[in-house]
């Protein structure tokens, strides 16, 4: 059975959010991207659906969380190397992200975290080579 993961996140300004994630090196699947939603390819079978807040609200009966004031989710993404974690995290901070927690360099993972333009908490990590 094929399994794909789609994490849906509300965003205030879709174009600005897409530009932010492009600066980090991510691409978007045009088949699922329009003026209300963007399908960001995170991995081979992992996607982040970035939905305008109004469109996101259509899929839930609960209020849409304000991620700039509270953490509703931590999106953790495994990368191949410490260098890739640093590249993405440095690009995020340069593109306007806010740092979250300090860098963690403890076995078994090297981790860096940040809050994106809408306040969503992202964590990129890579295995620490074992000696």
- pLDDT given at position 106: 67
- pLDDT given at position 23: 97
Q: How many domains does the chain have?
A: 1
Which ranges of the chain does DSSP label H, i.e. alpha helix? 14-23, 53-57, 82-94
Q: Does residue 64 fall inside a structural domain?
A: no
Tokens of 52: 């305008």
Q: Does residue 110 fall inside a structural domain?
A: yes
Q: Does residue 65 fall inside a structural domain?
A: no
Q: Does residue 78 fall inside a structural domain?
A: yes
Q: What is the pLDDT of residues 90-122, one digit of tens each?
A: 999 999 999 997 777 766 889 999 999 999 999
Are 119 and 75 spatial neighbours (Cβ–Cβ below 8 Å)?
no
- pLDDT given at position 42: 96
Whether the per-residue pLDDT at 130 is higher than 90: the answer is no
Q: Give 15's pLDDT tier (boundaries 50, 70, 90).
A: very high
Q: Does residue 49 fall inside a structural domain?
A: yes
Domain holding 86, by residue range, is 5-59+70-127
Identify the residue whose tokens are 């991995």: 43
Mean pLDDT of 50-67: 95
Q: Does residue 118 fall inside a structural domain?
A: yes
Long-range pairs for 40-48: beta carbons < 8 A, 24 or more residues apart = 42/77, 43/77, 45/2, 45/3, 45/4, 45/5, 46/4, 46/5, 46/7, 46/77, 47/4, 47/5, 47/6, 47/7, 48/6, 48/7, 48/8, 48/9, 48/75
- pLDDT given at position 129: 76
Whether the per-residue pLDDT at 1 is higher than 80: the answer is no
Q: Which residue has the higher pLDDT, 40 or 128?
A: 40
93/131 Cα distance (integer angstroms): 31
Q: Does residue 109 fall inside a structural domain?
A: yes
Whether the per-residue pLDDT at 72 is higher than 70: the answer is yes
The CATH number covering residue 40 comes to 3.10.180.10
- In the three-class reduction of DSSP (H, G, I as helix; E, B as strand; rest coil), residue 55 is classed as helix
Q: Does residue 38 fall inside a structural domain?
A: yes
Instruction: Give the DSSP letter of residue 59.
Output: T
pTM of the model: 0.88
């Amino acid at each position: 059975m094929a399994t794909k993961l789609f994490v849906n996140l509300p965003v205030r300004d879709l174009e600005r959010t897409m530009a932010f994630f492009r600066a980090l090196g991510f691409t978007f699947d045009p088949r699922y991207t329009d003026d209300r939603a963007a399908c960001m390819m995170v991995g081979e079978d992992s996607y982040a659906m970035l939905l305008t807040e109004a469109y996101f609200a259509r899929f839930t009966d609960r209020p849409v969380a304000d991620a700039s004031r509270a953490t509703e989710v931590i999106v953790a993404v495994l990368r191949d190397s410490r260098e890739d974690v640093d590249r993405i995290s440095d690009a995020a901070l340069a593109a306007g992200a806010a740092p979250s927690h300090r860098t963690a360099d403890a076995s078994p993972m090297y981790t860096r975290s940040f809050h994106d333009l809408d306040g969503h908490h992202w964590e990129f990590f890579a295995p620490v080579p074992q000696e």
